[in-house]
C-alpha cells in the first residue's frame, strides 16, 4: 500500500471512487511515508496520525452511504500554517502565535472539508509567510532550501507525503518552492480563491494557490477552492472555472508561447539560461522571444513598494508589541515600509492597470508567457529561501502563473518553468500547461 502515496491526486480520486482502495488505505500510506521521511525533511508543524485516520474512516463511510460526494473525497491535503483550522493550531511560523488555536476554519479549509478532503495537518511556513526560513529541508537534497514561504507544502508534495497542498504567494511563495522542490505549483489570478481566515500581509498581492504532482492535480483542487466568498473583499461572483475539464480538453489549435526573459534576466543562473534556450529551440516556431516594454522594468520596485507598505500596516502591530520576537529582516521591512509615501504607494497601485494592458496585447497573440520560475536550482543553504525576483512582476500584476518541473540543473536538481497567463484566464493557462507537458513528454519518448 505504500505505493499509493506516489499516486497523483487525480489517480487517487479515481481509485477511491472506483472502490480499488479506500481513503483509509491512502491515508495510511501517506502516514507511513511521513514517518519515513519527515524527520529529515521537516515539512510539518502539526500532524496528528489518529485524527488523519479518523477523517479517512469518516470519508469511507460517507462514500459507502450513497450520499453525494465531493471532488476531493478521501484525498489527503497539507495546509500551510497561515490558514485557520478550528481543530488544529495555526501559528504562522512565529513564536508570537505559539499555541494559537482558532475557533473557526478559514474559508479555504471549509471548502476542503466540503469537498471531502482529509486535512492531514499544518505544513511549515516561513516566519509570517515572509523570508526567514522554517525547519523544512529540500527533499532532493537536505542541505538545500525548499524555498519559501510555502516551504512545508511544496516539500510534503515533492516527497510523497501528500498528493496535494495549500500555499500562498505575496512575492514568490508558491512558484519558487515549486521550482526548487520539483512539484507543480499554481498561483491563480488574484482574487480567485478566498483568503478569509488566513494571515494577511498585503490585500492587493496575497494570493492563495496550490501544489500537486500534475497539472490535472492542481486543476482538481483549484476547482474545489475557487468558489465565491463575500468575506474576501477582492472576490467577485464568477461562473465556475472548470479547470479540470479544460485541462482534459485539447486546445482548438496548438498553443504559441512568448519567451519573456523579463527585465531581470541577468539574475538567471547558467542552468536556467541554457535550459530556456534549449526549450525555446525545441518549441521552434511555437515560441517567439518577446521583450517587455520599458514600463515593465519598474515592476519589481513597484511590487516592493506595495508589499513593504502593506507589511508595515499588517505586521506593524506585532512589531509594536514586541519587536524582539520578529526576525531582523522582518523588523527592517516594517521600518522601511513605514517610510513609504502615500503618493508612491498610490502610483504603484495604479500602474498595474498599465502593465496589464500591455500584457493583454501580448496575450492577443500568444497563449502563455514562458519565463523562469526562479534564478536557478535551490541554493545550497538553509539560511535563505532563494530570490523571488522572477515572480515579483507577475504577482504585482495579479495574473495566473504555474511552475512546471521541466528542467534539471547540472547537479540533478529540479528547475521550474513558469507559464504566465492573461488576467482572469486561469483555465486557458492550465490547458496550455497541460498541452506543454504532454508535448514535451511525447518528444522525449
Is the bond leading into 149 cis (omega within 30 degrees of zero)? yes
Q: Which residue in 80, 122, 187, 261 is the catalytic one? A: 80
Q: Which residue in 22, 106, 123, 173 is the catalytic one? A: 173
3-state secondary structure 119-154: EEEEECCCHHHCCCCCCCCECCECCCCCCCCCHHHH
Q: Which residue in 132, 149, 168, 179 is the catalytic one? A: 149
Q: Which three cell numbers stand for residue 328?
A: 531582523
Task: For residue 173, indicate whether it is catalytic.
Answer: yes
Q: Are 163 and 7 in contact (CB under 8 A)?
A: yes
**Measured CA distances, 147 to 232, 248, 387 (Å):** 27, 30, 9
Task: For residue 347, indicate whether it is catalytic.
Answer: no
Residue 170: partners with Cβ closer than 8 Å, 6 or more residues away: 129, 130, 149, 201, 202, 205, 206, 207, 307, 395
Q: Are 224 and 72 in contact (CB under 8 A)?
A: yes
Task: For residue 149, indicate whether it is catalytic.
Answer: yes
Other CB atoms within a 10 A radius of the CB of residue 162 amount to 30
The continuous run of DSSP H or E covering 418 comes out as: strand 414-420
Other CB atoms within a 10 A radius of the CB of residue 392 amount to 23
Q: Which three cell numbers stand for residue 416?
A: 521550474
Residues 379-382: contacts with CB within 8 Å, 24+ apart?
A: 379/144, 379/145, 380/141, 380/143, 380/144, 381/143, 381/144, 381/145, 382/133, 382/137, 382/143, 382/144, 382/145
Residue 192 DSSP class: S
The continuous run of DSSP H or E covering 108 comes out as: helix 107-114
Which stretches of 137-269 are DSSP H helices?
A: 151-158, 175-181, 215-225, 243-247
Residue 292 DSSP class: P
Other CB atoms within a 10 A radius of the CB of residue 213 amount to 23
As to burial, measured by CB atoms within 10 angstroms (0-12 exposed, 13-18 middle, 19+ buried), residue 278 is exposed
| Catalytic residue numbers, as ranges | 80, 149, 173
Amino acid at each position: 500500500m505504500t505505493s499509493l502515496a506516489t499516486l497523483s491526486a487525480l489517480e487517487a480520486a479515481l481509485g477511491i471512487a472506483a472502490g480499488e482502495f479506500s481513503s483509509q488505505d491512502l491515508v495510511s500510506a501517506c502516514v507511513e511515508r511521513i514517518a519515513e521521511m519527515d524527520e529529515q525533511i521537516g515539512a510539518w508543524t502539526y500532524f496528528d496520525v489518529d485524527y488523519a485516520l479518523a477523517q479517512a474512516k469518516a470519508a469511507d463511510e460517507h462514500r459507502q452511504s450513497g450520499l453525494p460526494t465531493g471532488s476531493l473525497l478521501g484525498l489527503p491535503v497539507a495546509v500551510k500554517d497561515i490558514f485557520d483550522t478550528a481543530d488544529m493550531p495555526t501559528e504562522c511560523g512565529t513564536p508570537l502565535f505559539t499555541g494559537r488555536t482558532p475557533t473557526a476554519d478559514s474559508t479555504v479549509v471549509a471548502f476542503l472539508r466540503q469537498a471531502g478532503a482529509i486535512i492531514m495537518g499544518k505544513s511549515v511556513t516561513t516566519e509570517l509567510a515572509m523570508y526567514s526560513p522554517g525547519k523544512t529541508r529540500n527533499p532532493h537534497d537536505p542541505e538545500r532550501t525548499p524555498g519559501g514561504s510555502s516551504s512545508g507544502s511544496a516539500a510534503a508534495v515533492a516527497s510523497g507525503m501528500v498528493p496535494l497542498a495549500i500555499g500562498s504567494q505575496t512575492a514568490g511563495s508558491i512558484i519558487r518552492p515549486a521550482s526548487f522542490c520539483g512539484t507543480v505549483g499554481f498561483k491563480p489570478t488574484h482574487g480567485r480563491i478566498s483568503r478569509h481566515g488566513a494571515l494577511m500581509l498585503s490585500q492587493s498581492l496575497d494570493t492563495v494557490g496550490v501544489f500537486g504532482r500534475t497539472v490535472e492535480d492542481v486543476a482538481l483542487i483549484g476547482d474545489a477552492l475557487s468558489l465565491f466568498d463575500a468575506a474576501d473583499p477582492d472576490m467577485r461572483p464568477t461562473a465556475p472555472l472548470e479547470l479540470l475539464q479544460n485541462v482534459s480538453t485539447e486546445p482548438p489549435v496548438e498553443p504559441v508561447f512568448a519567451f519573456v526573459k523579463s527585465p531581470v534576466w541577468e539574475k538567471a543562473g547558467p542552468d536556467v539560461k541554457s535550459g530556456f534556450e534549449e526549450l525555446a529551440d525545441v518549441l521552434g516556431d511555437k515560441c517567439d522571444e518577446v521583450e517587455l516594454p520599458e514600463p515593465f522594468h519598474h515592476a519589481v520596485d513597484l511590487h516592493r513598494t506595495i508589499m513593504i507598505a502593506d507589511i508595515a500596516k499588517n505586521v506593524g502591530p506585532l512589531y509594536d508589541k514586541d519587536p524582539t520576537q520578529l526576525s531582523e529582516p522582518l523588523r527592517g521591512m516594517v521600518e522601511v515600509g513605514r517610510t513609504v509615501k502615500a503618493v508612491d504607494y498610490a502610483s504603484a497601485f495604479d500602474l498595474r492597470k498599465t502593465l496589464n494592458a500591455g500584457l493583454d496585447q501580448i496575450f492577443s497573440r500568444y497563449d502563455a508567457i514562458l519565463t523562469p520560475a526562479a534564478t536557478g536550482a535551490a541554493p545550497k543553504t538553509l539560511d535563505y529561501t532563494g530570490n523571488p525576483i522572477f515572480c515579483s512582476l507577475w504577482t504585482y500584476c495579479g495574473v495566473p502563473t504555474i511552475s512546471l518541473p521541466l528542467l534539471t540543473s547540472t547537479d540533478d536538481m529540479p528547475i521550474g518553468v513558469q507559464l504566465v497567463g492573461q488576467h482572469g484566464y486561469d483555465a486557458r493557462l492550465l490547458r496550455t500547461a497541460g498541452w506543454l507537458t504532454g508535448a514535451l513528454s511525447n518528444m522525449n519518448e
